[in-house]
Amino acid sequence: MSILELGAIGELVSSLAIVVALAGIFYQVRQSNASQQNEFHAAALGAFTPLRLAVLSDREVAELFVRATTEPDSLDEADSLRLTQLFAHNLWTNYVLWTRSQRAEIREFDVEYWERSLRAHMSPVLARRFWSQEGFRFPNGPFRAMVDRIVAELEAEGPVVQTSD
């Protein structure tokens, strides 16, 4: 075997090694993306869990949300402050999750679901008041524009009317 033939064989072997190395890197990137997606879902669940648990386990908090939706003027200053803090926490959590989803950190991003969720969150008059007073603190961009649009649509629909059976 001549030196040229040995060089050709060496070149072939090194080319195959590069292909195998690239396949390994591709596999690792896919695993990393799946891991990041799992972490994102865990963070999202963790961010909303305290609010859900408060509503589910504390009747007073649940009644506070109902009154915020049906009788916002009946709330005293302490209840208004509590709700404002809950709205702020929920909106900032939504903003952080929205931002991460826009950076393609999650693949299955459903804009309609997000809008329905925000629409439900912004349905109490106090939430819309909060947004009108504090919405400017959120960075300009698609999230702020979406909340502005949802709030405008809800305002155009008028107040929620409580019906009794």
* CB 143 within 8 Å of CB 95: yes
Distances (CA, A) of 63 to 126, 127, 146: 14, 15, 28
Q: Is the pLDDT score of 164 beyond 50?
A: no
CB 71 within 8 A of CB 83: no
Residue 116 lies in a domain: yes
When mean pLDDT is compared across 25-39, 68-82, 151-165, the lowest value belongs to 151-165
Task: Indicate whether 54 belongs to any domain.
Answer: yes
| Residue 85 structural domain | 37-157
| 25 within domain boundaries | no
Whether the per-residue pLDDT at 103 is higher than 50: the answer is yes
Q: How confident is the model at residue 71 (pLDDT cuts 50, 70, 90)?
A: confident
Domain contains 20 = no
In a domain, 29, yes or no: no
Residues 63-74, mean pLDDT to the nearest whole number = 81
18 assigned to some structural domain: no
Our count of domains for the chain comes to 1
Tokens 């155009």: give the residue: 156
Task: Please state the pTM of the whole predicted model.
Answer: 0.59
Q: Which residue has the higher pLDDT, 57 or 43?
A: 57
Instruction: Tell whether 11 is covered by a domain.
Output: no
pLDDT(162) > 50: no
Note whether residue 8 is domain-resident. Answer: no
Name the band, by pLDDT with cuts 50, 70 and 90, for residue 45.
low
80: exposed, middle or buried (Cβ count in 10 Å: 0-12, 13-18, 19+): middle
127, 121 in Cβ contact below 8 A? yes
pLDDT in tens, 117-128: 788 778 777 788
At residue 16 the predicted structure's pLDDT band, cuts being 50, 70 and 90, is very high
Query: What does pLDDT average to over the chain?
Result: 79
Average pLDDT over residues 77-105: 79
CB 115 within 8 A of CB 87: no
